[in-house]
Structure formats: structure tokens, C-alpha cells
Structure 1
Amino acid sequence: MADALVLAGIHHITAVTARAPENLRFCTRVLGLRLVKKTVNQDDVSAYHLFCADRVGTPGTEVTFFDWPHLPPHQPGHGEIARMALRVGSRQALDWWLAWLDGHGVPGLERGSYAGRDALFFTDFEGQRLALVDDGGVPGGVPWERSPVPPEYQVKGIFAVTLVVRALEPTARVLVDVLGFRLRAEGRGTSRSALFETGSGGPGALVLVEERPDLPRAQLGAGGVHHVAFRVPDDATHRAWREQIAQAGIPVTPQIDRFYFRSLYFREPGGVLYELATDGPGFAVDEDVEHLGEKLSLPPFLEPRRAEIEAHLRPLEPVEAENR
């Protein structure tokens, strides 16, 4: 692994919803995130791609959703991203969140430990598995002044993701030998697990891998996670990463211009889809920061199809109006 190529951490996590209006309400009115970009899945323009994040859409704070109402519920198993863990700043924040989520009828609330830190586990209304983790006060995202969550308790970004795979070693080899992650800790309980970190490590740069050969293959559906994206600083480094992944014998897409960032995709041996995404240009490239997410944004190559695309999208306006 060349020393010059280092992933800074997690860029975003993209999950699947079959109920976009309710999903948006949960992200913004319960989790307190800001809708920073309302766009479409560029590979399936019939579906929204909703980006919720901190006030300005900082890489590493983005939780995004594809809206696929035709999909059945997600079936957990191996070969999946089983949980997204988000950051809060203190144990006191977890206490606040426990009361807040309970007051909103959020299911599955349970205190526990995640990657050695205090955590609160829960699911959303579609069974999406989530955790809030005390990050020890490490600086995070920019608070959103119109969030229903007080600034001191707001979600600060992504803490980690949990992968569940059939066999740990092949996934670990790609993380370490190809992507430059470091093994931070190993666990042996009812199943083997390993915690890996990249960049400077710590919150936002962690991947927890659990080995579960006893489980069936996961079937992606509503309430599941589609992929995790890792941070790359610029286009030149992005191209270098693509070359390195290809040289390792892993099938990888060409660099794709998503307008808000550049992307490339590949599957690791356990079946989980990875993306490498550049930090820029960012979400303010076509909207003022004060008005992020207020209208449907389309990249230039889709703009000529705006009328057609808008005609096939379900309205989100009642939910959006609550967030302005």
C-alpha cells in the first residue's frame, strides 16, 4: 500500500427506504439532521436520492437514502452493512437522546457499547439498524440552527459502520492490503469480529466487521444499507485509488462524475458495496448554503429532463415545509 494513498474516513452511507416522506421526517424531525440535497438516483431517475447531514453537508456527516417503494423489507444476513453508527458528543447527549427517541416511539431502544464506547441502539420505522455513539467530544459537523435537537446534542456525523460477512479474512485483506486500513482490535464472543481504522483513526474512520457464517445471504430491501463511501480529497488521488484497486485484481468502475463529488464503486469479497467519493465540489455548487435541499437539484446532464423527472416523483412537500 503506497503511503501517499490514505482514506480520510467515511464520506457517506447510503440506505434504502420505501417510504420517502416518512423517512425524510424521521431524518430531519427525529434525528435532527438537515436535508442538504434533494436530487435523484442518477442511475434510476425515478427514485429520489435524499442527503441528510450537518448544516453544510460536510463529508463524513452525510446519511443518504434511495427511495425505492417497490422493494420488500430488507432481509438481514451476511454480505451487508448491518448498522450505521452516528456520533454524538457526550454520555449526557446519549441520556438526552434516550428520552427524545422514546418520546417519539422509536423502537428497539437499548443502551450498550459499540467499539468500546457508550452507545444507544435503535431502529427506524422500516427496521433500519442505527446507533448513537459517544465520540468523547471530538470535533464534528456544523450544528444546524433549525434542528429540533439542541446544538449540544446534535448528531455530529458518522461514527462507523458494521459489516457482516461470511468469512472475516477476505474482507480484512482488502481493507488492510488494498485500502490501507489498520487493525485496531479483535473480538471473540459468540462470533469473531475485528475493528479497523483509517486515516487518523477514531470517530468517522472506523469499520467493524463481524463474521457470521451461520446466517443466510442478506437480501437488500427497505430498511437496508446499499453502500458505504470512503473519503478521497481530490480527483488526482481518486484516479490513483482506482488504479491501485484495479491492480489488486478487483473489478472497479470508471470514475463517475456525480456533479457533487466523483465516485467509483467495487464490491469487497464479502459482498459489500464500497464507494470512494471525493470531498468536493460539494452541495453548494448549485445552491446557496442557506437554501440547501429546498428544491429538486439535478446535475447538468439531467437538467433537460427536469419536467419528465419531476412528473414521476412522489411529492415530499408537506414534510419539506416542516423543515424550512
Structure 2
Amino acid sequence: MILKGLHHVSAITANARKNYEFYSKVLGMRLVKKSVNQDATSMYHLFYADEIGNPGTDLTFFEIPNAGRTYQGNNSISRVSLRVPNDNALNYWVQRFNNLQVDHDGISEQNGHHVIHFRDHENQRLTLISDEKNQGVAGGIPWKHSHASVENGIVGLGPVKITVPDSEPTVKALTKVLSFKKIGSYPSPVLGQKDILVFSTGEGGNGAEVHLEVRNDLPRERPGKGSVHHVAFRVDSDKELTKWYEKLIEARMPNSGIVDRYYFKALYFRDQNRILFELSTDGPGFATDEDVEHLGEKLALPPFLEDQRAEIEANLEPLETKSTK
């Protein structure tokens, strides 16, 4: 039972329309599913990914219109990375960010890879990471109708950074429960802080890493718009997910039990640092109820919510997502 890498990351936005403008029109990611939060159907749940919504390429957002600002700090998933094909692609993105007035820090180096740290319009902490020296989990397929460059386009999720005041509970969850391996470390960019630890699973590489930062100088994060809700890791099949559930029970880790999200099945739990982890199956995938050529254009509801469609649509602000390219 080895997790295959990152499956998706889910974050919070206060405005679905502005979120779509940034992630689709600026970053050029494809909206592969326009749905609702299955646990609170009055809010959108938007899924951005590669050409066909491959697992490991998916960044999702729950819309919470009254979400306040995020007060950044500890006990958080503090940074999300997005992979691009090579170092040259980063030059393209610097120019694009300059032209579109996206807040960024320019090209730097992190753990042997060139990166660009940047923020979206809600101060979501993001990084573009070059796959030029990457070995491991393959990237996805850039969207052929992308508003950005297809050649330099985003091909999936890169390392996720977790920030905690005490590393031990999260190290235990990653290594003893989830079978990640510690493969190295690199210096913290913050003077006086411990090195950031690097953990890997499956085939490894940018699509299968968690970076763990210990900060003794921060308060607990107060989440809001621009914060991350959870990180999910890839499980091969329903049968294997059941085995992970049994492993969590054996480890006495409180969990959600297996939840059918229609596009995948999921299992949630928190470590003692209150980090929310999810294990998600690779299938059946986002083309289950929509043609690949028209993913994300209409409001998609799983069958168990279809009889509530009229009520659900009445509670949502209209959001036009049909590509004009």
C-alpha cells in the first residue's frame, strides 16, 4: 500500500467568478468540473486541472462568499506548488505575471529546483516549480485551449508545504501512517528557523512530495479566503482505499470513513497538528458525467443531488464558464 502521489488540493475563495478569472484566464488551467460542495450545496466547488482532469493535476476551490481574510500562521497547509515543464517556462511566467500585474518574487531556487513564488488576488500562497530536473511521477497534459501558453503550461501539482509548531505529530502521520519516506531537507528562507524537511511517496518527484516547515515564531493560522482546506493523496483503487481505512482504524486515527464523492471516493483524517489529509481514488474521474470536450461548462451534480438541481441552482450566482477560445 503505497500512495501514488498528490491527488488534489482544496482551498477557499470568497468569489467564484474572480477565482475563475484568475485560475482559468491568468494561469491557463482548465476548469474540469463546476459543481457544488456536497456537504453545503449553496456554495460552488470549482475544479481546475490539466486537459482531462488527471489525478495529481487538480486544484479545487470552495466558494464561501462571506469568508474573511486569512491570518497566516501555524497548523496550516501553507503553500501549494504547480508544475511547469522546464526552467525556460519560468521566464515566460515572469513576463506574463509582469504584464498581468500578478504579485510575484521572481525566479529563485528551492531544494534543487527553480521556482517562482507568487500570490493570487486573495493572497493564496502559490509556487510555480520547474520539472526540468524532476524524476518521478509524470506530469499531466496542458489544456490545448489554454489562455496561457500551452508549451509552458501548468502540468500538475507540485510539492505542498505544511507549517507546524512541532514536527513530531505530522512526521508520525506521514511516515508511520501514510508510509511517506523522509528524503532530505533544505534551509528555511526565514532566518533562525529549522531546515524544511522533505517527504516523498510512490515514484517520488515534484508530484509526490510534502515539505514540512517548523515555525516557532507564528500563531495558529486563522483560515479564510486564500487559505488551503486540505491536501489529498492518490490511492489506486476502491479496494486499496478500504485497506487504508482499516489501517487508520488500527492506528486509532479518527476519520470520516469512506465517502463517495462520485468522481472519486475519499477518506479524511486529521493529525494532531490539525492538518486535514484526504486519501482519494484515481477513478472514476471527471469524464463520468460530461464529455471530455465540454468539461466544466455546465453545473455538474452527482446523481444523489440531481433531484435538488432547481433549488441548488436558485441559490447560486450564475457563473459562465464556457471557453471562448
Q: Are residues 1:46 and 2:42 paired?
A: yes
CA distance in 1, matches of 2:305, 2:94: 42
Q: How far 1:323 moved relative to its partner? A: 4.7
Give the structure 1 partner of residue 170 of structure 2. Answer: 171
Deviations, residues 145-192 of structure 1 (Å, cap 9, x unaligned): 110222220001001100000101221111011100000112454322
State percent identity of aligned pairs.
46
Deviations, residues 2-49 of structure 1 (Å, cap 9, x unaligned): xxx100000000010001101011011111000000000000101100
The correspondence for 1:275, drawn from 272, 275, 278, is 278
Which amino acid in the other structure matches residue 128 of structure 2? L
The correspondence for 1:299, drawn from 302, 318, 324, is 302
Q: Are residues 1:194 and 2:190 paired?
A: no
Q: How far 1:112 moved relative to its partner? A: 1.6
Q: How far 1:288 moved relative to its partner? A: 0.5
CA distance in 2, matches of 1:186, 1:131: 18
Contact 2:30–2:51 (CA under 8 A) maintained in structure 1: yes
Give the structure 1 partner of residue 157 of structure 2. Answer: 158
Which amino acid in the other structure matches residue 173 of structure 1? K
**Which consecutive unaligned segments of at least 5 residues does structure 2 have?**
none
Instruction: Report the secondary structure of 1:76's partner residue.
Output: coil
Which amino acid in the other structure matches residue 167 of structure 1? D
Instruction: Report the secondary structure of 1:73's partner residue.
Output: coil
Q: Are residues 1:148 and 2:147 paired?
A: yes
CA distance in 1, matches of 2:307, 2:110: 46
Give the structure 2 partner of residue 7 of structure 1. Answer: 3
Instruction: Report the secondary structure of 1:13's partner residue.
Output: strand
Give the structure 1 partner of residue 14 of structure 2. Answer: 18
Shifted more, 130-139 versus 290-299: the winner is 130-139
How many residues end up aligned between the 2 structures? 318
The correspondence for 1:27, drawn from 23, 37, 40, is 23
Could you state the TM-score of these two structures normalised by the residue count of structure 2? 0.95
CA distance in 1, matches of 2:322, 2:174: 42
Deviations, residues 214-236 of structure 1 (Å, cap 9, x unaligned): 21111110000000000001100
Contact 1:198–1:206 (CA under 8 A) maintained in structure 2: yes
CA distance in 2, matches of 1:262, 1:42: 13
Contact 1:98–1:109 (CA under 8 A) maintained in structure 2: no
**Which consecutive unaligned segments of at least 5 residues does structure 1 have?**
none
Give the structure 2 partner of residue 120 of structure 1. Answer: 116
CA distance in 1, matches of 2:218, 2:316: 36
Contact 2:76–2:162 (CA under 8 A) maintained in structure 1: yes
Contact 2:30–2:48 (CA under 8 A) maintained in structure 1: yes
Contact 2:84–2:128 (CA under 8 A) maintained in structure 1: yes
Which amino acid in the other structure matches residue 309 of structure 2? R
Give the structure 1 partner of residue 125 of structure 2. Answer: 129
The correspondence for 2:227, drawn from 206, 212, 224, is 224
- The CA RMSD over aligned residues, in Å, is 1.2
Q: How far 1:127 moved relative to its partner? A: 0.2
